[in-house]
Amino acid sequence: MEYVSLFMFVVVCFVLLLGYPVAFSLAGTALLFAGLGSLFNVFDLAFLGAFPSRIFGTINNQTLLAVPLFVFMGAMLERSKIAENLLNAMSLLFGRFNGGLGISVTLVGMLLAASTGIVGATVVTMGLLSLPTMLKRGYSPVFSSGIICATGTLGQIIPPSIALVLLGDVLSSAYQKAQLSMGIFSPETVTVGDLFAGAVIPGFLLVVFYLLYCMAYAYFKPNSVPSLSQQDIDEISNGKPKWLLMLTALVPPLLLMFSVLGSILFGYATPTEAAGVGAMGATMLALWQKQLTHKNLTAVMQSTVKITSMVFLILIGASLFSLVFRGFGGEELIRGLFEQMPGGVVGATVIVMLVIFFLGFILDFIEITFVVVPIVAPILLAMGLDPIWLGIMIAINLQTSFLTPPFGFALFYLRGVADKVVKTADIYRGVIPFIIMQLILLVALAYWPSLITWLPNLIYG
């Protein structure tokens, strides 16, 4: 009957493809299979008795408090015209060079990723702000759409990322479970701060890859990425001193991001405390930009409540799903399959990465984090993998799947806000070089795991 658990997973994927809400699909499918299993005496309903304690544990989880605070921070920065000011400042700095707007979009996307932490929000924001400007200045639709989609997904890996907050909480439980199964009764822990530190170097390398691609594209195809004219630069500066525009646009958000991330990395604050600082700092920036209106504040709070409610409702549905999955013996089945797999831990890791990659076509990172990771992570960690390395590899893998045609989420986000001049084929062609770059990074991180583990070991020992 263990294979019923796999069939249950297939059914829930099918239900999601039909368009039903994720949380209700997970919980509803689990309850349906639990009821049928009890009816045929192949499932013990006592497993569901642990469900209330799981919900109580979620409510008392201090780490997850960072989620609404980081969402609030990102939504407030999005409303306070920070992205628009940053893009103008970077355009003044790099616009005189071929491909300068591409470099500007990459750097602004990196800074937005470190503030919003949500892939959809960054892609939509950059699509609305930069895509019309790039097309107007004569940039290729293929290059423009590709760089916007790619930089928009940086929010998946660059801390403080909401994906890493959720992944860190799940991996912490999985790591303790793995150690207990190995007979270690004083288990070590892995924290969100560990994942943030582990993501710094891979995130930086990815940004460097993107910048090098912009420069190479400008060298080989200069006519597709022209430089800005003096008239364009004067239009952006609007008669104000350029140094003043760059100073006022860059310094405040950079101070906020360094204070949030630095306080976590150097142990001055927990992720939850740093998220509170970030939320307050974003509010002060909006006040300074004269954007803290009643309308904007209401929109930010509504957005925060909607996203946070979605995250926690999915978490509750995933908890119920994993309980029923375990009740049918799914966890033992997966462990047995992994142990019999050729290649040992390497083969098992490759299979898991491929499964997560393909699931990224139909599921968001939240569902994969709450449903798939709790099933496979304890088994992989018990086989000797480093939890920080595994977490960052999963995050970058998901980031790659968000870009991959034909189902990548980032492609649909941009398609929804792009002008009709930009064809869907242009978006697909534009992201291919960035997918290759991310796959190269995944291979490099697999070959040199110290690129991930060095900084956490240096900071936290």
For residue range 344-364, list pLDDT tens digits in order. 788 888 888 988 888 877 777
Q: Cα separation of 61 and 78, whole Å?
A: 27
322: which 2 tokens?
């994993």
- Cβ burial, residue 405 (10 Å; 0-12/13-18/19+): middle
For residue range 215-237, list pLDDT tens digits in order. 999 999 888 888 877 777 777 77
Q: Cα separation of 82 and 281, whole Å?
A: 13
Report yes or no on 84 lying in a domain: yes
Report yes or no on 6 lying in a domain: no
Report yes or no on 38 lying in a domain: no
Report yes or no on 368 lying in a domain: yes
Question: What's the CA dihedral at 343, 346, 350, 352 to 10 degrees?
Answer: 100
- In three-state secondary structure terms, 188 is coil
Report yes or no on 175 lying in a domain: yes
Q: In whole angstroms, how far apart are CA 39 and each of 4, 42, 46, 215, 441?
A: 14, 8, 14, 64, 49
Report yes or no on 248 lying in a domain: yes
For residue range 148-169, list pLDDT tens digits in order. 888 888 888 888 778 888 888 8
> 97 is in which domain, residue-wise?
44-460
Number of other CB atoms surrounding residue 391 within 10 Å:
30
Q: Cα separation of 124 and 55, whole Å?
A: 33
How large a percentage of the chain has pLDDT more than 90? 13
Report yes or no on 4 lying in a domain: no
Chain centroid, CA 54 distance in Å: 25
What is the pLDDT at residue 121? 66
User: How many structural domains is the chain composed of?
Assistant: 1
Report yes or no on 10 lying in a domain: no
Residue 190's pLDDT band, with cuts at 50, 70 and 90, is confident
Closest CA to 461 of 165, 177, 191: 191
